[in-house]
Amino acid sequence: MFLNSKISSTLRSLKPLLAATVLLTYGSEALAWGQIGHRVTGEIAEQYLSADAKAKIAALYPDKSLAEISTHADEMRSDPAPFWQKTSPPWHYVSIPEGTSYLVDKHAPPQGDAYTALQAFTQTLKSPQASADEKRLALHFIVHIIGDLHQPLHVGNGTDKGGNDVKLVFFWEDSNLHRVWDSGLIDKQQLSYTEWTKWLSQKITPEQAKQWRITDPKVWMTESAILRSSIYPEGDKLSWSYQYEHLPQVKRRLQMAGVRIAAYLNQAL
């Protein structure tokens, strides 16, 4: 695939920088599910990793969990390097206009998107020739991208920047629809990521875990696109009723993302 080749070529050209970017101090701004949401997906995933996957991840990161590395791809966007400012930002989302199905050559920008980047990073993680630093960066992005693709507004309709252009008031504070789904609904509950993880994990049945163990990104993307169409509000002032209607959907997408991160890594490793 051309875009995968282009991403892989970009990563190879950046090989001397990868060790440095992995070790740089993280920035303070987080996007996508927000720091809590991504950490929840990573922590849930830990519970479903195979022994082999756990061993291979531990070889790359003996002292870090998936929850800890899950926000790296967002936090590094504060780094001024062109890779983080220009190359990688489109790798956090895909676009599927209403009434269409995802097509790489039609919907992905020239430098790729979350789908094409996921394919390229998976190849890196599997490659015997890839260095440890390349595999660490790949692992960061894989965990992060899978989380992103379960946030319905990271599967945008191509018209409003994934809901960022939908300005509104959320619990009497200025916001936008994308931010509400990234962090507003989650942060409003005033729970730590470990509390979220404990409560959500307890509610995942063995049957659900088995049913959700889908590793095809296009399935996750289609689910998000279907959900996306139902979350746009009629008005611009959101509070208790919007939270009541949509918080269960947020919880379910976090649970599913966690199970699927593990399933994907079990398969890749």
How confident is the model at residue 105, as a pLDDT?
85
Q: How confident is the model at residue 9 (pLDDT cuts 50, 70, 90)?
A: low
How confident is the model at residue 113, as a pLDDT?
96
For residues 150 and 94, give the distance between their C-alpha atoms in angstroms, rounded to a whole number: 11
Domains of the chain plus CATH, in order, are 2-268 (1.10.575.10)
Max intra-chain CA distance, the chain:
53
The string of DSSP letters for 106-153 reads HHS-TT--HHHHHHHHHHHHH-TTS-HHHHHHHHHHHHHHHHHHTSGG
Q: Is the pLDDT of residue 129 over 80?
A: yes
Per-residue pLDDT tens over the stretch 175-210:
999 999 999 999 999 999 999 999 999 999 999 999
For residues 265 and 248, give the distance between their C-alpha atoms in angstroms, rounded to a whole number: 26
Average predicted confidence (pLDDT) for the chain: 90
Q: State the pTM of this model.
A: 0.89
Identify the H or E element spanning 28: none
Per-residue pLDDT tens over the stretch 19-63:
333 333 223 333 578 999 999 999 999 999 999 999 999 999 999
